[in-house]
Amino acid sequence: MIVLGIESSCDETAVAVVCSDRTILAQRIASQEAEHRPFGGVVPELAARAHVERLTPMVEAVLADAGLALEDVDAIAATAGPGLIGGVMVGLMTGKALAFAAGKPLVAVNHLEGHALSPRLVDAGLAFPYLLLLVSGGHCQLIAVDGVGAYRRLATTIDDAAGEAFDKVAKMLGLGFPGGPAVERAARAGNHHAVPLPRPLVGSGEPHFSFAGLKTAVLRAVQSGRHATDDVAASFQAAVTDCLADRTAIALGAMPEATALVVAGGVAANGAVRAALEVLAKAHGLPFVAPPLALCTDNAAMIAWAALERLALGPVDEPDAEARPRWPLDRQAESVRGAGVKA
């Protein structure tokens, strides 16, 4: 089976063609970094416009790269949320139009499900259930992935997402946008013991996350003028890493049936975070699985793959799917006080 996937929920316009045998036949990702850089963050209106301009030519180009015609694909998959609603609408409507024109089923994919299942695209041996740490610019969650469509949220952030904290700290340090990779680069030259910073919620019994207090502490350190940028970056990265590892350890304790520890989302690109999680997995006798960097950040191959996972269980066609700014993976999960939009 071959699926064409579309992703447009944030600032990446992405299209991919993926086969059920786990081959990515073609994929393209157009980042909008240049458009958003002058504003120091993603501007939703600009993002939606950029998706409109890029998506159709990109679909044509990816099909050409794969040597396929639209008629050759078995289904069209598009992200239907959660995300910036303008961009989600552009991608979903494009997907619906393509599906209608070609007479193929449409699969409306939850972006978080894309991240959650992406490790199985590259690792055929990764079996359910596994513990997923999903850490991106919009999300910071620990999810028990029991099967396709069976997700239990064990933890979420009560304020900022980890990637959001990286982006804001980069801004404070004048390191530019996007923040995560810039902070990681600066941190390499810094001393992570130089600036004492808090580790919010570390040691607490429930595995939730919080980064607001850490962010404020970084701001004070920056304003004091007493620390080198590289040292602040390194100390901040070490604090986030400690929080992520500690919280994940609590969740692993609550999920003894887990067969693996999996990390996904943009922050999974961070070397220090990966290294700490690898140590943690080893200590629990579990394999550590992280998708290759290109599949960690937003991409369309994960959207096509999530659709293929669902199609493998039976026919799916959702031509009337709505674009959803919010769409929790675990509908049973209670909202956490102060969790804002990160539900």
Question: How many residues line the site for Zn ion (CB under 5 A)?
Answer: 2
DSSP 8-state code for residue 336? P
* Contact flags string 69-108 toward Zn ion, x per CB under 5 A: ----------------------------------------
Least spacing, CB of residue 112 vs ligand KG4, in Å: 9
> What is the C-alpha to C-alpha distance for residues 271 and 112, in angstroms, rounded to an integer?
22
**Concatenated DSSP letters of 241-308:** HHHHHHHHHHHHHH-TT---EEEESGGGG-HHHHHHHHHHHHHTT--EE---HHHHSS-SHHHHHHHH
Kindly tell me which of 75 and 305 has the beta carbon lying closer to ligand KG4. Answer: 305
User: Is the CB of residue 210 less than 8 Å from the CB of residue 164?
Assistant: no
Selected from 114, 265, 291, 328, the binder of ligand KG4 by CB under 6 A is 265
Listed ranges 130-138, 275-283, 304-312, 318-326: which one lies at the site for ligand KG4 (CB under 6 A): 130-138
Site for Zn ion in 113-152 (CB under 5 A): 136
Mutual angle of helices 179-188 and 271-283, in 10-degree steps = 80
CA distances from 269 to 181, 264, 292 (A): 8, 8, 8
Region of 270 please: left (phi>0), alpha (psi -120 to 50) or beta: beta
Site for ligand KG4 in 179-208 (CB under 6 A): 179-181, 184
| The two three-digit tokens of residue 126, written as one number | 């990764």
Computed on alpha carbons and rounded to an integer, the radius of gyration of the chain in Å comes to 20
* Stretch near ligand KG4 under the rule CB under 6 A, chosen from 118-126, 178-186, 197-205, 326-334: 178-186
Closest approach, Cβ 297 to ligand KG4, in A, equals: 3
Which C-beta is closer to Zn ion: that of 246 or that of 298?
298
Which of residues 12, 231, 298, 309 is near Zn ion by CB under 5 A? 298
**237 is an interface residue for Zn ion by CB under 5 A:** no
Looking only at residues 33 through 72 of this chain, which bind ligand KG4 when binding is defined by CB under 6 A? none
The torsion angles phi and psi of 123, rounded to 5 degrees, stand at: -125, 95
163 binds, among ligand KG4, Zn ion, none (CB under 5 to 8 A by kind): ligand KG4
Is 270 among the residues that bind ligand KG4 (CB under 6 A)? yes
3-state helix, strand, coil in the chain (%, to 5): 45, 20, 35
CA-to-CA separations, 223 to 1, 14, 232, 239, in angstroms, rounded: 56, 39, 11, 19
Interactions with ligand KG4, residue window 4-23 (CB under 6 A): 10
Q: Which does 157 bind (CB under 5 to 8 A by kind): Zn ion, ligand KG4, none?
A: none
- Pull the structure tokens for residue 203: 């040691």
- As given in the structure block, the two tokens for residue 145 are 């992935």
Residue 318 contacts ligand KG4 per CB under 6 A: no
Residues 289-308 that bind ligand KG4 (CB under 6 A): 297-298
Q: Is 153 helix (H, G, I), strand (E, B) or coil?
A: strand
Q: Any contact of residue 166 with ligand KG4 (CB under 6 A)?
A: yes
- Determine, following the binding rule CB under 6 A, whether residue 163 of this chain makes contact with ligand KG4: yes
298-to-102, 202, 336 alpha-carbon distances in Å: 26, 28, 25
Binding at 5: pick from Zn ion, ligand KG4, none (beta carbon under 5-8 Å per type)? none
Q: Shortest gap between Cβ of 205 and ligand KG4 (angstroms)?
A: 27
- In the complex, the residues that contact ligand KG4 under the rule CB under 6 A are 10, 136-138, 163-164, 166-167, 178-181, 184, 265-267, 269-270, 297-298
- In the complex, the residues that contact Zn ion under the rule CB under 5 A are 136, 298
